[in-house]
Amino acid sequence: MSTLLAAEGLTKSYGSTPALRGASVAVRAGEILAVTGASGSGKSTLLHCLAGIVRPDAGTVTYAGTPLDGYDEERLSALRRTDFGIVFQFGQLIPELTALDNVALPLLLAGRPRAVAHNEADAWLERFGMRGRRELRPGELSGGQAQRVALARALVTAPKVVFADEPTGALDTLATEQVLTSLVHTVRETHTAVVLVTHEAQVAAYADREVSLRDGVAQETSGAFASGLPSSEVTR
């Protein structure tokens, strides 16, 4: 698999506190990469730099062969609406909107007609087993259901990379398994790369590779296929 997204020598400090100290990592097209490490090791900062949310103090992030440091904020925002999808620990769904409208929102912001956006959102909710709850608002959904809606929203624009920052951190074991199984099956079908930040070994086990951050430096800890699903299931 070819490298789609790469960070080279990233440093980032918040005031006098360093978060990254020369971190380098490569994300291949279609793979799931787990980024692990203790709290405060720089995992989320690395993800935010890769997604163009935070600019590093030094070092380079390259996407599809182009350094992101040449992008202005408008171009970075456009990239996050099209090529990148983002899922956070608590989903960050808009509480006033239904599940359907939450998933359709990125398409509506991109100028798609409402009927088209709703049809595509419906199809993604179906994929994640949530179509029967399309009219419910986030407060009416369980944590696992809400996170599947958030995954559908992240994938509805057909991104090349999904950034998932502790996406199961607020879920119980059963909901975690359901969300991760749905994610793995879907990204295998769509050939979407995933950067999965987690501090939990059982979550990292769903990835193809694992990179561990320690004191702001990245080190690859596994290169073999390490999915928590049977190989026959993952490669479907």
Quick: pLDDT tens for 79-115.
988 899 998 876 689 999 999 999 999 999 889 999 9
Q: Where are the domains of the chain?
A: 3-234
| Structure tokens that stand for 91 in this block | 């989903």
Residue 11 CA to residue 194 CA, distance in Å, equals 22
- The mean of the pLDDT values for the chain is 89
pTM, whole model, 2 decimals?
0.87
pLDDT band, residue 232 (cuts 50/70/90): very low
Q: What is the pLDDT of residues 180-216, one digit of tens each?
A: 998 899 899 999 999 999 988 999 999 999 999 988 8
**Residue 35 reports pLDDT greater than 90:** yes
Q: What is the pLDDT of residues 48-72, one digit of tens each?
A: 999 999 999 999 999 999 999 989 9
Q: Which amino acid is at 22?
A: G
Return the pLDDT at 90.
Answer: 67
Assigned CATH topology for domain 3-234: Rossmann fold (3.40.50)
